[in-house]
Amino acid sequence: MKKVLIVDDEPNILMSLEFLMKKNGYKVFIARDGAEALGTVQDELPDVVILDIMMPEVDGYEVCEFIKKKVNANIKVVFLTAKGKESDFDKGYQVGADFYMTKPFSTKKLVDKVNELAN
Amino acid sequence: MGIEWIVIILSSAYLGLLFIIAGWAEKNADKRWLSSPYIYALSLAVYCTAWTFYGSVGRAANQGLDFLTTYMGPILMAPLFWLVLRKIIRICKAQRITSIADFISARYGKSLFLGAFTTVICILAIIPYISIQLKAISSSFRIFNADVNESRGLFFNDSAFYLMAILAVFTIFFGSRKIDTSQKNTGLITVVAFESLFKLFAFLVLGLYVTYGLFNGFSDIFLQSNELPYFERLTTIDHVDGYGDWFWLNLLSFFAIILLPRQFHVAIKENNSENHLKKAIWLFPLYLFLINIFVLPIALGGNLLFPENAVDADTYVLAMPLAQGNTFLALLVFLGGFSAATSMIIVSTSALSIMISNNLMIPGILRNEFLSKRLNPRLNKVVLRGRQIMIVVMLMLAYLYFKYIGQPFPLVSIGLISFVGVAQFAPSAIGGMFWKGGNYKGAIASLTVGFLIWGFTLVLPTIVNADLLSPEILDKGLFGVKWLRPQAFLGVDFSNNVAQGFMWSILFNGLAYVGVSSLTTQSIKETNQAEVFVDIFKYSTVYESAIVWKGQAFITDIKSLLSMFLGKRRTDLAFERFSDRNAIEQSTIEADFRVVNFAEKLLSGAVGSASARILMSSVVKEEEIKLEEVFNILQETQRYITDNKELKKKSEELETAGVKLREANEELTKLDKLKDEFISTVTHEMRTPITSIRALSEIINDNEDLETAERAKFLDTVVEETKRMERLINQVLDLEKMESGKLEIPFSTIHLNDVVTESVRKVKQLITEKGIMLNTNLHGKLPLVKGNRDRLVQVILNLVSNAIKFCDSSNGEITITTSVRNGSVELSVSDNGPGVPNDSQKLIFEAFYQARNQTLKKPEGTGLGLTICKKIIDKHQGSIWIENGKESGAVVAFSLPKLKL
């Protein structure tokens, strides 16, 4: 069973993402901020991380960089964020993201992308 | 071979040397030392002529210390060089003036008449002066050849004639080479400097020979002379009249040092740099001191050696070494005197020839229609040839004067009479340089009066003495009127005729100048020139534009006129430079006043200012300037200046406005940036609920098999998020209304405790649900306030909901307190949460502060709550702030002014 880590500080978004991933057969882990995510990634070594960017203390970019450099570059990272500027995209890919998706998002597209990356 | 021939060969060789030096210097004119201040100072010593060389000793032998006045004037006044001479130099450079006649003519509106008048006075004063140089050479010649009868021949039988001829050739060669007289004659000046050195050397050698060779030093001569009956008279200043004479004679020589044509020539025309004056100020007096130091010893020594006037005192300097059989020294002294005479003759004739050509000849040709038509096309050649002819004529006249009139006079008196003649220029030249009021009529009066008195008191007696006039006038006075006796004018009889003649002429001259000038008015052109002369240091840089001029002229005409005198290459070059400097387009056809003035100035250098004026008027269609027009121009200028001031003020204002505008713009940009930020934050804040709404809706839609509870939870969340959106939208609109001032908040008199009670009622349920304890601590006698109840409830609810968000999650406690402080009603909401960092306490009221500061835990809410609270409190003239509690937690408080009853 593939593992997905969802990192977001909005409970309602977490709720919907958790449902979606579980529904598609993933083992789901949740982190409510960046700092928590750092720990969970190392503990669980998920196949895919769905990552928000704007979070207190440790932001999504830092988490992504940490995953790719310190943990395992094979862990796929999908940014899911309200930041929609081109520079935000660029920065996301610069820190090693595998995909960048803006909020609000299409559930189908997200699930497809996560499936693609997980396999 | 007789000594006579040796003298002739020596003098010829000496003249040959002069040619060589001059020719060499012309070729090497770019050598720096040739235009050094030392050469300049030495060239000033052309002042010391044969009269100095022979006559000083003669005068000292007969009259004592009198001779010194001629040198003390320049020495005493040397410090004034900087004031007077520098100013003249500056003026002459600016206006390309090359002679004293030109100077006076230019000062008084470039008057032809004054230029001519001055020239005539100069000729009359200087020709006798040149003649005494010839006489000095001739009589020194005779000393070597005592048996030759002095009047043995004229012209070809007379050595003085040959000398004159050689000097004429020399002067033509080196003194009138260039048509543009404002160019320097390096050859001439180098020769003059050399001759100055040579004559000083010769005189010093003789002085040392007499003082230490023939006698045992100064004290020996003076001791021996003590025996002479007239010793005291010779070595002290003359009793009663003496001091008066001294004063006048000193003043006279001071004027002479500036106004003599040859001094003007070397000191001003040939001056390379004003700074040379700084050296000349002490070098020239030093020279005069050195050349005079042995005069008295030689004179007294001569009196001792040749008692009873056995030898003419004017020839002591030669007779003394000859009597001792020292021919070599005598020849050296002869050459010294020869050099003094030749340098004077060369410079004087070349100066005079320029004056005559520029102020008499050219104006004469130009004003005569017949001559003008015939000569105009080759005027340049005519001018040059004319000058050369004038040199010959001058020398001729001097020669004839020497032969027929000048013989009976001692050297010194003719020299001094010349001095007085040129001193008549002092009021109009020097006065006109410091007094703007001096005018043309005043100058004419001044010169006329001075000239007449000079002629009457000083020249007339010389004519009588030459037996050309009956001596009756000297004894009985003009028309038999006793007080019109030339040598006792107005009944005053000085012991010294020169001092007396000078005093009367200069006094009446000055009075006429000031008097007539004060009583009459200046023409416009004169006013311009007076302005330029007196304020030269102000104008020398902007001079070209300082003239009022009106007329029409074409540049090509002006150029072809100039080319005739300056050559095409120089003209083109000058125009090119001028155009560059004044930003005049090369293609300009019509000349403006600057070009006309510039051209006239250039032309002045060649033909003098008065002639230049006439020549220019031939190509310039000049309109008579009426006084009215000048006033108009002046008014225009004035207006221009005023406008300029106004403009400056305006531009300053504009600059201030610009600064303000820039500040405003910065403010706007800042606001704009804030607005952008606000919008992007608002839209960003909107994305979050929309994201949830969309995601959950899609889930519900895609999953028909959802459990009822789960579906309900998702649907509830969608509704909740929609409400959040609505809240956000309302708050944004609210804030917009408040910021734009559109929101009207009706005020009424309210009791803040009531507002608290209402708020608590509204929030009670939520508080209880969260398990938070809510305390109210209300002041018993709280004053009334003016305010809007609903808005204040909104504020309190907002503060409480913030407190709920932040207070301790397990043992949450919130306290609402009302109190009175400093005459204000205060309300505070405190929690027991983490508190707010000090540096954030002010910023927290900015919109979306939390959203923009990611280090803070993201709270629920729109991020606009506190911003809106602040706006509401501001509307109540109150203030809102946040601080940390005494133990823990945050305290958000606001105060409202209590109602004034």
> What pLDDT digit, counting tens, does each position of B525-560 carry?
777 778 778 877 765 554 444 444 556 677 777 777
Average confidence (pLDDT) over B472-492: 69
- Nearest CA to B193 out of B85, B40, B33, B340 is that of B40
Record: contact B695-A13, CB cut-off 8 A: yes
CB B313 within 8 A of CB B58: yes
Whether residue B656 is predicted with pLDDT greater than 50 in this model: the reply is: yes
Share of chain B above pLDDT 70, in %: 84
Whether residue B152 is predicted with pLDDT greater than 80 in this model: the reply is: no
Specify the pLDDT at position B140: 81
Adjacency order of strands within the sheet including B773-777: B773-777, B813-821, B824-831, B890-897, B879-884
CA distance A12 to chain B (A): 6
Whether residue B132 is predicted with pLDDT greater than 90 in this model: the reply is: no
Specify the pLDDT at position B849: 63
Average confidence (pLDDT) over B810-831: 89
Share of chain B above pLDDT 90, in %: 15
Whether residue B269 is predicted with pLDDT greater than 90 in this model: the reply is: no
> B806 contacts in A (CB within 8 Å)?
none
CB B296 within 8 A of CB B231: no
> A12 contacts in B (CB within 8 Å)?
689, 692, 696, 717, 720-721
pLDDT in tens, B158-216: 677 777 888 888 888 777 666 666 677 888 889 999 999 999 999 999 999 999 988 88
Which of B692, B693, B703, B860 to mutate to probe the A interface, most A CBs <10 Å? B692
Measuring CA to CA, how many Å separate B388 from each of B202, B411, B833? 32, 28, 115
Specify the pLDDT at position B508: 92
Record: contact B698-A17, CB cut-off 8 A: no
**Does residue B92 sit in helix, strand or coil?**
helix
Q: How far apart are CA B696 and CA B225, in angstroms?
A: 140
Out of B695, B855, B856, name the one closest to residue A107 (CB): B695
AA identity, residue B145: N
Quote the tokens at residue A91: 């920065």
Record: contact B699-A13, CB cut-off 8 A: no
pLDDT confidence bin for B870, thresholds 50/70/90: confident
The chain A residues in contact with chain B (CB within 8 A) are 9-10, 12-13, 15-17, 19-20, 23, 54-57, 59, 82-83, 103-108
pLDDT in tens, B12-29: 888 889 888 888 888 887
Lowest mean pLDDT segment, chosen from B109-123, B770-784, B838-852:
B838-852
Whether residue B629 is predicted with pLDDT greater than 60 in this model: the reply is: no
Lowest mean pLDDT segment, chosen from A75-79, B308-312, B319-323:
B308-312
Q: Higher-confidence residue: B893 or B154?
A: B893
Average confidence (pLDDT) over B847-852: 59
| Total residues found in chain A within this entry | 119
CA distance B767 to chain A (A): 21
CB B505 within 8 A of CB B424: yes
Record: contact B857-A13, CB cut-off 8 A: no
Record: contact B688-A13, CB cut-off 8 A: yes
Average confidence (pLDDT) over B75-95: 84
Specify the pLDDT at position B422: 92
Residue of A nearest to B861 (CA): A10
Whether residue B610 is predicted with pLDDT greater than 50 in this model: the reply is: yes
Q: Which of B164-178, B239-253, B318-332 has the highest mean pLDDT?
A: B318-332
- Nearest CA to B616 out of B386, B366, B370, B269 is that of B366
- Nearest CA to B756 out of B598, B894, B638, B617 is that of B894
Q: How far apart are CA B503 and CA B494, in angstroms?
A: 10
Specify the pLDDT at position B409: 63
pLDDT confidence bin for B856, thresholds 50/70/90: very low
Record: contact A107-B717, CB cut-off 8 A: no
pLDDT confidence bin for A29, thresholds 50/70/90: very high
Average confidence (pLDDT) over A76-89: 89
Record: contact B696-A9, CB cut-off 8 A: no
Quote the tokens at residue B768: 């209880």
> A114 contacts in B (CB within 8 Å)?
none
pLDDT confidence bin for B220, thresholds 50/70/90: confident
Q: Higher-confidence residue: B318 or B641?
A: B318
Specify the pLDDT at position B493: 66
Specify the pLDDT at position B544: 44
Residue of A nearest to B691 (CA): A104
Q: Higher-confidence residue: B219 or B472?
A: B219
pLDDT in tens, B356-412: 988 888 888 877 777 777 766 677 778 888 888 888 998 888 888 887 776 666 556
What ipTM does this complex have?
0.94
Record: contact A54-B698, CB cut-off 8 A: no
Catalogue the long-range contacts made by B847-852 (C-beta closer than 8 Å, 24 or more residues apart): B847/B678, B847/B681, B847/B735, B848/B677, B848/B678, B848/B681, B848/B682, B848/B685, B851/B681, B851/B684, B851/B685, B852/B677, B852/B681
**Mean pLDDT, chain B, as a whole number?**
81
- Nearest CA to B520 out of B625, B429, B427, B439 is that of B439
> B687 contacts in A (CB within 8 Å)?
82, 103-104
pLDDT in tens, A85-119: 888 889 999 999 999 999 999 999 999 999 999 98
Specify the pLDDT at position B200: 94
CB A22 within 8 A of CB A1: no
CA distance B705 to chain A (A): 11
Those of residues 663-702 in B touching chain A at CB distance below 8 A are: 684, 687-696, 698-699, 702
- Nearest CA to B599 out of B569, B582, B570, B575 is that of B575
Specify the pLDDT at position B70: 80
Q: How far apart are CA B171 and CA B734, in angstroms?
A: 105
Rg (CA), chain B: 51
CA distance B782 to chain A (A): 42
Q: How far apart are CA A92 and CA A64, in angstroms?
A: 8
> A8 contacts in B (CB within 8 Å)?
none
Average confidence (pLDDT) over B632-645: 61
CB B154 within 8 A of CB B400: no
Q: Higher-confidence residue: B615 or A73?
A: A73
Residue B538's H or E segment, with its range, is helix B536-539
Q: How far apart are CA B633 and CA B628, in angstroms?
A: 9
* Residue A104: cis peptide before it, omega within 30 degrees of 0: yes
B181-203 exposure pattern, b = at least 16 Cβ within 10 A, e = fewer: bbbbbbbbbbbbbbbbebbbebb
Average confidence (pLDDT) over B250-258: 87
Specify the pLDDT at position B206: 92
Specify the pLDDT at position B638: 59
Output the CA torsion sign for A31, A32, A36, A38.
positive
CA distance A19 to chain B (A): 8
Residue of B nearest to A106 (CA): B695
Record: contact B698-A107, CB cut-off 8 A: yes
Specify the pLDDT at position B179: 64
Q: How far apart are CA B784 and CA B791, in angstroms?
A: 16
B64: region left, alpha or beta (phi > 0 left; psi from -120 to 50 alpha): left
Record: contact A108-B702, CB cut-off 8 A: yes
Output the CA torsion sign for B107, B113, B116, B117.
negative
Quote the tokens at residue B332: 């050296």
Measuring CA to CA, how many Å separate B738 from each of B651, B682, B851? 39, 17, 21
